[in-house]
Amino acid sequence: MKALFQTIKNIWKIEELRARILYTLGILVVYRLCSFITLPGIDPLKLEALSRQTEGGVMGLLDMFSGGAFSNASIVALGIMPYISASIVVQLLGIAIPYFQKMQREGESGRRKINQITRYLTIIILILQAPVYLVNLQNQIPAGAFLLGDTYDLADKIFHTLILSSGTIFVMWLGERITDKGIGNGISLIIMVGIIARLPLSLVQELNMRLENQGGGLVALLVEIVIWLIVIGVSILLVQGTRKIPVQYAKRIVGNKQYGGVRQYIPLKVNAAGVMPIIFAQALMFIPVTVAGFSATGDSMTGFLSAFTDITGFWYNAVFAFLIVIFTYFYTAVTINPTQMAEDMKRNEGFIPGVKPGKKTVEYLDSIMSRITLPGSLFLAFVAILPAFAKILGISYQFAQFFGGTTLLIMVGVVLDTLQQIESHLLMRHYDGLMKSGRIKGRSGV
């Protein structure tokens, strides 16, 4: 505990890091405040039906990803998911269309062009998705909840569509501010904060449910929490697990100095794609509800729509797991380039023992990535569908969502990435990292 407080003191001593953390916290507070601002002309006291609609199923997940803004009929009710959907489309276009492939190879300028195209596509998705949300809102709340006039006409819907679209664009801007001036991972942090905001209420609801049960309610709750902590530990191992590839560098003598002649390791991550496969797969699983206009709910849902809104159903979880495996391979292929790695090793006179430089090294690295990505993606998919098993075993819906699944993996992944950002700032300024003792090191000793 003493080391933890010392590390916090070290963080506070670094002016730039302190400013970045405070800036990030300020942006997140602004986002959370926006999630409670109801659309103009909507009576916030008459949203009970909308809240009941988001108590379970895919609607509940949508509400969780937006931090409760969906059920509050907030100005940011659509959250960041339209931007995620646009990112999926642009990433897929990068595989199929040479123009996008060329932009991906252009470095920073290409990245800016891709980001701009993603923003334009987000606006198009918002123009389609916002009216769908408003139709659902009109179906769920009484006519007296609309305060703009006697009827909720086309002009009112256009007005609210512009506000919802502007709200999502504003959230995108907040995420970019965190990435540029905060501690990074802006979009992911916004999603994580919305998820974490629901955790205290979920724990209270689970506690109340267990207390109402006679005979061993508290014991069952303790068992659930222990299992939950084990799942968190497993998720951390899944995110951080690596396979080390040895690389031997040739000895070189330049002048009076010797270079190389040592063995190093390339850490290939078991889950190189991080949490993005989960986010992308979940965004696609929201499409059936969006297409249906949110209007067919409850007992009226049949067939395809019913199967893909039941988060404990077989088909929902089977397709969800399949998409996670596909996106894991896709993102790994995008982020890990064996050809570039082999060229870098050859340029620095390095080689993998027992493997010829060049094409053989590329094939070896590619085969290693394929072997470790398969079990990594399968295990990632298994953890993602754990909430379905938790719900079947009697855990409340709200708490079951934190029992693995999209929510837990996003929380674990984003928290670890954020801690890594803070760790790098500490080490650059010659302080012990978060996993060290917290003792300040002298500059001469580093």
pLDDT of residue 220: 79
- 298 pLDDT higher than 50: no
How many CA atoms within 13 Å lie on the side-chain side of 76? 28
- 331 pLDDT higher than 70: yes
**Long-range contact pairs involving 110-113 (C-beta distance under 8 Å, separation at least 24):** none
Selection from 122-131, 137-146, 197-206, 212-221 with the highest mean pLDDT: 122-131
Average pLDDT of the segment spanning 213-233: 78
Say if 274 falls within a structural domain: yes
- 116 shares its domain with 162: yes
* b/e sequence 304-343, b meaning 16+ C-beta within 10 Å: ebbbbbbbbeeebbebbbebbbebbbbbbbeebebeebbe
User: Which residues span the domain enclosing 281?
Assistant: 205-403
**What's the burial of 443, exposed, middle or buried (CB within 10 Å: 0-12/13-18/19+)?**
exposed
- 228 pLDDT higher than 80: yes
Average pLDDT of the segment spanning 203-208: 82
Which helix or strand (DSSP H or E) is residue 245 part of? strand 242-249
Least confident of 66-75, 216-225, 368-377: 216-225
Instruction: Report the alpha-carbon distance of residue 304 to residue 231 in Å, rounded.
Output: 31
Instruction: Report the alpha-carbon distance of residue 31 to residue 40 in Å, rounded.
Output: 18
Mean pLDDT rounded to a whole number for the chain: 79
- 354 shares its domain with 229: yes
Least confident of 267-281, 321-335, 426-440: 426-440
Q: End of a domain among 197, 217, 243?
A: 197
- 159 shares its domain with 276: no
Tokens representing 124 are: 């198009």
Report which of residues 348 and 315 the model is more confident about.
Answer: 315
Per-residue pLDDT tens for 426-443? 777 655 555 544 433 333
Instruction: Report the alpha-carbon distance of residue 264 to residue 283 in Å, rounded.
Output: 39
Selection from 7-21, 170-184, 364-378, 391-405 with the highest mean pLDDT: 170-184
Say if 84 falls within a structural domain: yes
How far lies 143's CA from each of 138, 152, 210, in Å?
A: 8, 8, 38
How far lies 188's CA from each of 31, 49, 215, 235, 313, in Å?
A: 13, 30, 41, 17, 28
Per-residue pLDDT tens for 49-83? 788 777 766 777 778 878 888 888 899 998 888 88
Report which of residues 305 and 267 the model is more confident about.
Answer: 267
Average pLDDT of the segment spanning 142-171: 86
Per-residue pLDDT tens for 82-103? 888 888 888 878 777 888 878 8
Q: By percentage, how much of the chain surpasses pLDDT 90?
A: 11
Say if 45 falls within a structural domain: yes
Average pLDDT of the segment spanning 172-188: 88
Domain count, the chain: 2
Say if 340 falls within a structural domain: yes
Say if 104 falls within a structural domain: yes
CATH of the domain at 22: 1.10.3370.10
Q: Is the pTM of this model over 0.85?
A: no
- 172 shares its domain with 249: no
169 band by pLDDT with thresholds 50, 70 and 90:
very high
182 band by pLDDT with thresholds 50, 70 and 90:
confident
